[in-house]
Amino acid sequence: MIGCSAENEQSAESSVRKLVVPVHYRGSPKGEVLKRLCEIGSERSEILLGQNIGCTSDGPTELRDALKSVSILNRDGSYPAVVGIDYGWGEMDRESIRAANRLLIAHWKRGGLVTINFDPGNPLTGIPDPNDITPIDIYRLCESGTEENDTFMRQLETVAEGLQELQRAGVVVLWRPIHEPNGGWFWWCSHDPDSNRWTSPKEYRMLWKYIHRELTKTHGLDNLLWVYSPAAMADASIRPTDWYYPGDDYVDVIGIDLYTDHLDLAHIDARGGYSRLRKFGKPMALCEIGGRTHDGRMDTLACLDAVLECCPDAKYMLFWHSWGPANNRSRVAIPDCRNPKKLMNDPRVLLVRDNDAVSQMEKVVPAKHKASDRQSE
C-alpha cells in the first residue's frame, strides 16, 4: 500500500491513530518527506504553512514576486514551508515550466516542500480550459490511438518533462492532478446539467490510474507523492468527498479544497466532508484554502486557529493565489487578506529560511535526507 497507513494503538486513556510510512518507501527521498509529514503535529499544535504562487504561464518574475510578497511578512524573511504552482491552466508550455522549476528547486534546497497541480484543457474539444465541461468519454480518452488519447498524451508528456527535471534535481513533489472531482466543474469529472449525468467514480478512478501508470511506468517518475483533493462539501450540489477516492495503492496524501467565510466546524467540515476522508488512514491537508467571497476579508490568523482546532490532524494548509486585474481582483493569497504578518510570525506555523546557516532542525526536510543537490540537467 502506497502512502502512510494507520495503526491503532490502544492505551489506558485513549486510542491514538498513528501514521506509518510503508516499508517500500523507507529510506527513499519521498519516504523521508512522507515520514516528516506524518510527524507534523504529533507532539504539539503546529502545521506547515503553504502558499500557491500562481501558474507557470504567469512567468518567473510574477511568480518570484508572489513568493517574495509572502516572505517579507516574516520578521526573518522566512518562506512558507510549502510552495505551490500550477503547471499551466489548461495550456502548458515547456519553457514556462522550466522557468518555474528553477523557483521550485531553490525552495526545495532551502528546506521547503513543493506541490504542483495538473489542470489540463479538455482533450476532446482542444479548448485550453479545465472548466470546459463538454462531456468526454473517459474510456476513449484512455484508449491508445484515439484522437482524445493522442491529445492527452501530449499534455502528459509536457508535464512529465517538467517533473523529470525536478526528479534529476532531487525534488520530491506533492503531485495533485485532476482535483475536485466531486464538484462537477472540471471536464475530468463533469456534471452535464442537461442530462444530469455525472462522470462516474469508476471513470474518474480509471483516469487517475491511467495518469499514475503513464507517469510512474512510462516516464519513470519516482519522486511523486500523489495527493487526492476533493472539494469541501459546502452545499448539497457537491458530491461526497470520498466517492471518487482512487484507492490506497494510488494515493499518498488526502486533503480538501476549502473556501469559506465562516471559520467554524460546521463550515470547515461541512457535511462531514473532511471527516469522512480520515478512514483512509493517510496524512491529511487543506490543499486549497481561502475566503469564499474572494474579497480579502479572510482573517488568516483566525483561519489558522480554526484549522488547528477543527482539523488537528492536518499536516499542511495552503492558501491559494490571488488572480485577476487590479480593479477586479480575487484576493485570497496571504498578503491580500487580513492579519498576514501575524500569521507569518505565529510560532504554530512551520516556515523555512533562505539561509545556508540555518540549522537542520529548522528545515522541513533536513538536507541529509534529500537526494542529490546537483543542478537539473
Catalytic residues: 180, 288
Pick from 36, 70, 43: which is nearest to 315 by CA?
Answer: 36
Amino acid at position 254, single letter: I
Q: How far is CA 233 from CA 185, 277, 357, in A?
A: 14, 12, 44
Give alpha helix (H) positions in the chain.
Answer: 29-39, 60-71, 94-109, 138-141, 147-168, 201-213, 265-268, 300-310, 340-344
Cβ contact 114:173 at 8 Å: yes
Could you state, in order of their start, the residue ranges of all structural domains in the chain?
Answer: 45-365
Give the predicted TM-score (pTM) of the model.
0.91
What are residue 28's DSSP bridge partners?
Answer: none
How many CA atoms within 13 Å lie on the side-chain side of 293? 8
d(CA 142, CA 146): 8
At 65, list the grid cell.
514576486
Largest CA distance in the chain: 61
Cβ contact 332:292 at 8 Å: no
Q: What is the pLDDT along the chain (377 residues), one digit of tens a residue?
A: 334 544 433 332 233 367 888 788 888 999 999 999 999 999 999 999 999 999 999 999 999 999 999 999 999 999 999 999 999 897 899 999 999 999 999 999 999 999 999 999 999 999 999 999 999 999 999 999 999 999 999 999 999 999 999 999 999 999 999 999 999 999 999 988 788 889 999 999 999 999 999 999 999 999 999 999 999 999 999 999 999 999 999 999 999 999 999 999 999 999 999 999 999 999 999 999 999 999 999 999 999 999 999 999 999 999 999 999 989 999 999 999 999 999 999 999 999 997 644 444 456 765 544 444 434 33
Q: For strand 47-55 and strand 314-319, is the pairing parallel, antiparallel, or unpaired? A: parallel
Amino acid at position 149, single letter: N
Phi, psi of 74 (to 5 degrees): -90, 140
Phi, psi of 227 (to 5 degrees): -115, 120
Pick from 347, 337, 264, 341: which is nearest to 299 by CA?
Answer: 337
The DSSP line for 224-266 is EEEEE-PBP--STTSPPTTTT---GGG-SEEEEEEE-S--SHH
The CATH number of domain 45-365, selected from 3.90.470.20, 3.20.20.80, 3.10.290.10, 2.60.40.10: 3.20.20.80
DSSP 89: B
Cβ contact 5:11 at 8 Å: no
Confidence at residue 368, expressed as pLDDT on a 0 to 100 scale: 45
Cβ contact 64:354 at 8 Å: no
At 350, list the grid cell.
512551520
Confidence at residue 26, expressed as pLDDT on a 0 to 100 scale: 86
d(CA 252, CA 38): 11
Contacting residues for 98 by C-beta, under 8 A, at least 6 apart: 162, 165
Confidence at residue 17, expressed as pLDDT on a 0 to 100 scale: 62
Pick from 199, 55, 182: which is nearest to 124 by CA?
Answer: 199
d(CA 85, CA 121): 17
